[in-house]
Amino acid sequence: MNPVPTLMAAPPAVPFVAASAVSKSYGGAQALRGASLSVLPGEVHGLVGANGAGKSTLIRILAGLTQPDTGEIAIEGRPVAIASPHAASGLGMSFIHQELAFVPDMTVLENIMLGLPKKTTRLGLVDWAAIQRDVAPIIERVGITAPLDAAAKSLSTAENWLISIARALVWKARLIVMDEPTASLSASECRKLFSIIRGLSASGVAVLYVSHRLDEILDLCGRVTVLRDGRSVAVLDGPGLTRRGLVQAIVGGAVEHLSKSRDTARGEVVLSVRGLRRLPRVTEASFDLHRGEVLGLGGLVGAGRSELARLLYGADRPDAGSMTIEGGPFAPRTPAGAVRAGLGLVPEERRTEGLLLGKSVAFNLSLGNLTPLLASPVLPFISLRKRARLAQATIRDLSIKASSTEQPVGRLSGGNQQKVVIGRWLRSKPEVLILDEPTRGVDIGARGEIHRLIRELAGHGMAVLVISSEPDELPDLCDRVLVMAEGRIVRELAGTDLTRSAIIEASYALTEERVPA
C-alpha cells in the first residue's frame, strides 16, 4: 500500500516547474490572463477550473505545443523557453493529453517507446529484445496485460492510458501531466490509476492532475491550483482544501443544486427493444422507453452501452433482435433512417463524432435539422438570417460561451462544444434523444445546466436515454436506470432503489462472479 502524500506544512525551496504570469490569446479569445502554477518535486498537484478556464491551454504551453504571448516558465528555478514537445520531454516532463495520442497501427511496445531513444544492435537496427527486457518491470508495475506485439488499436481506452503512463516511466520523467485521465476509465481502472499515481509520487515523480471530478482531486492531490477565466484564482492545500472551497473558487460564487422534479408523468411506450444483440459487445438488451421519462443506462466503461446506442441509432446493424417505435416496426439501416423515425443522438466522442470543428457554431447547430431554415416552403433555399437567429437563441438558452454565431466551434472549450452538440437536437425535438456521456469533461456549472435541460426536454414529452459512467450522475437525473454489464442489461432500478450504491453494485455483479479477486 502506498502512503497518501502527507500535507506538507512548508513547501521545499525550489518547485520543479513554475509558470508565472502566463498569458495567451487565440485570435480574439483570451485563454490565459496571467496564470501561474508551480508544482513541487514529488507532489500530486491538482489543476481545476470550469470549461474554458484555460487548463488545457496552460498544459499545452508546458508541453511546448503552443507558445505563450507573455509569461515566464522555470524548471528547477532556471528560466526556460519550451519551443517544442521534444524540448519539453528533454526537460523531464511527460504529457498525457486530453485527447489520447497513440499510433493505432503500431504495437503496444512500439507505442510505449514512441519518440524515446532506443537501444540498437551493432548494425544500427533497433534491438527490440533488449528493449523488451528493460521495460518489463515498468509494464509489470503499470499493469499492462495485453501482449506487447498486439496492435494498439485493438486495446481499450484504459489500456492505452496505461501505455502513455508506461512511456512516461520509461522516460524517467520528473513530472507527468495528466489532462482528465479518468474521463473514460471505469471505477476499477481509476483505482488502479490512483495507486500508480501514489506510487509515482512516493518515488519522487511529480504529477500534475487535471479533472472535473472533485472527489478524485480531494482524494489524490496535496495542493490544487484553481483557474477561472484564465487566471489562477486560488492555490488550496492543507485544511483549506475542501470540496466546498474548491467549488467556490471554481465558480466564483455559490452553486444552486438541482432538485429533481418528480412530477413528470411517464407516458406510453415510445421505443421498445427486444433481444437486441451484436456480438461481442452487446449480448442481449430488452427494454421499453416511455414518453416523458429520463431513462439512465449505467454500468462500467466497456459494458456495451455505447454499442447499444449505436444499434438503436442505426449506426451499426444488430445480429439479432427487433425494435418498434411508436408501435411501428423500426429497423434503421443508417443514422439517417433513425433520425427520420424520430431519434437523436449526442455521441460519446464529441470532437470526432459530434462536431465539424472548422465550421461555425451556427452551422453545427443547424446540422441535420435544416427544414426550419428554409427561406420558403416551396424553394429549396435556406435563409442564413434564420440560421443565425436560431443559433443566437440556442446560444442564449444554453448559455454557450461563444464570441459569435460564426465562431468556429473547434475554438470553444470542451464543455461549450458539448452544449453545441446537445443544442442541435433542441430545435428538431426528436421523439427519442440518446445522450452518451453528456457531461463527460464538463464543469460542474455546465453540468447542472445540462441536467436541467435534459429534465426540461423530458418535461416536454421527449423520451430521453442517458448513458453515464458516473454513478453519481444517474440517481439525480433519471426516473429509472438500467444497469448494463458485459453486454447485458442486468438490473432495473427505480424509485427508492435508485441509488448510487445500487448502480455500482449491479455494475460489478457479473464481473465479480467471473473474476475471482
Partner 1 sequence: MSDVSYTRRLSPSTRAALGVFARYGTIIGLLAMILVFSFLSPHAFPTFSNFINVLNQASLAMIIAGGLTMAVIVGELDLSVGYAASLHGVLVTGLIVANHLPIPVAVLIELALGALIGVVNGVIVTKLKVNSVIATLGVGTVLVGLSFAYSAGVPIVSGVPESFLQLALGRWLFGIPNPIIFMALVFGGLWLLVERTAIGQEIQAVGGNPAAARLAGINVDRIKILGFVLSGMCAALTGTLLAARLGSGTTNAADSYLLTAFAAVFLGSATLRDGEFHILGTLIGTLIIVLGFNGLNIFGAPTFSQFVFQGAILIVAVGLASLGRSLAES
Ligand X SMILES: Nc1ncnc2c1ncn2[C@@H]1O[C@H](COP(=O)(O)OP(=O)(O)OP(=O)(O)O)[C@@H](O)[C@H]1O
> What's the DSSP call for residue 47?
E
Interaction residues for ligand X, span 139-168 (CB under 6 A): 154, 156-158
Task: Please tell me the distance from the alpha carbon of residue 63 to that of residue 82, in angstroms, as a whole number.
Answer: 7
Q: Confirm or reject binding of residue 288 to partner 1 (CB under 8 A).
A: no
Contacts 24+ apart (CB under 8 A), 186-191: 186/158, 186/300, 186/301, 186/302, 186/469, 187/300, 187/471, 187/504, 187/507, 188/300, 189/158, 189/161, 189/301, 190/216
- Does residue 310 contact residue 436 with C-beta atoms inside 8 Å? no
Interaction residues for ligand X, span 316-355 (CB under 6 A): 348
Q: Confirm or reject binding of residue 113 to partner 1 (CB under 8 A).
A: yes
Q: Closest separation between CB of residue 419 and partner 1, Å?
A: 15
Residue 203 contact among partner 1, ligand X, Mg ion, none, beta carbon within 5 to 8 Å by kind: none
- Does residue 483 contact residue 299 with C-beta atoms inside 8 Å? yes
Q: Confirm or reject binding of residue 27 to partner 1 (CB under 8 A).
A: yes
Q: Confirm or reject binding of residue 56 to Mg ion (CB under 5 A).
A: yes
**Which residue, 56 or 394, is less far from Mg ion as judged by CB?**
56
Residue 49 contact among Mg ion, ligand X, partner 1, none, beta carbon within 5 to 8 Å by kind: ligand X
The three-state (H, E, C) secondary structure of 425-463, written as one string: HHHHCCCEEEEECCCCCCCHHHHHHHHHHHHHHHHCCCE
Among 36, 107, 225, 306, binds Mg ion (CB under 5 A): 306
Q: Closest separation between CB of residue 380 and partner 1, Å?
A: 5
Q: Which stretch binds Mg ion (CB under 5 A): 51-59, 111-119, 126-134, 403-411?
A: 51-59
Interaction residues for ligand X, span 385-444 (CB under 6 A): 411-415, 437, 441, 443
- Find cell 483570451 and name the residue: 30
Among 4, 8, 114, 269, binds partner 1 (CB under 8 A): 114
How many residues interact with ligand X (rule CB under 6 A)? Answer: 36
Among 253, 328, 377, 495, binds partner 1 (CB under 8 A): 328
Task: Please tell me the distance from the alpha carbon of residue 263 to that of residue 274, in angstroms, as a whole number.
Answer: 29
> What's the DSSP call for residue 15?
-
Among 43, 348, 473, 479, binds Mg ion (CB under 5 A): 348
Q: Confirm or reject binding of residue 336 to partner 1 (CB under 8 A).
A: yes
> Interhelix angle for 384-397 vs 414-428, to 10°?
120
Q: Confirm or reject binding of residue 377 to partner 1 (CB under 8 A).
A: no
**Which residue, 234 or 346, is less far from partner 1 as judged by CB?**
346
| Cβ partners under 8 Å of residue 471, min gap 6 | 187, 298, 500, 501, 503, 504, 507
Task: Please tell me the distance from the alpha carbon of residue 123 to that of residue 375, in angstroms, as a whole number.
Answer: 70
Q: Confirm or reject binding of residue 57 to ligand X (CB under 6 A).
A: yes
Residue 469 contact among partner 1, ligand X, Mg ion, none, beta carbon within 5 to 8 Å by kind: ligand X
Interaction residues for partner 1, span 387-446 (CB under 8 A): 424
Q: Classify the phi-psi angles of 473: left when phi > 0, otherwise alpha if psi is within -120 to 50, otherwise beta.
A: alpha
Residue 121 dihedral angles phi and psi, to the nearest 5°: -80, 180
Q: Closest separation between CB of residue 223 and partner 1, Å?
A: 25
- Find cell 514537445 and name the residue: 85
Q: Confirm or reject binding of residue 77 to partner 1 (CB under 8 A).
A: no
How many residues interact with partner 1 (rule CB under 8 A)? Answer: 88
Q: Closest separation between CB of residue 359 and partner 1, Å?
A: 5
Interaction residues for partner 1, span 349-368 (CB under 8 A): 352-359, 363, 366-368
Interaction residues for ligand X, span 251-310 (CB under 6 A): 281, 299, 301-307
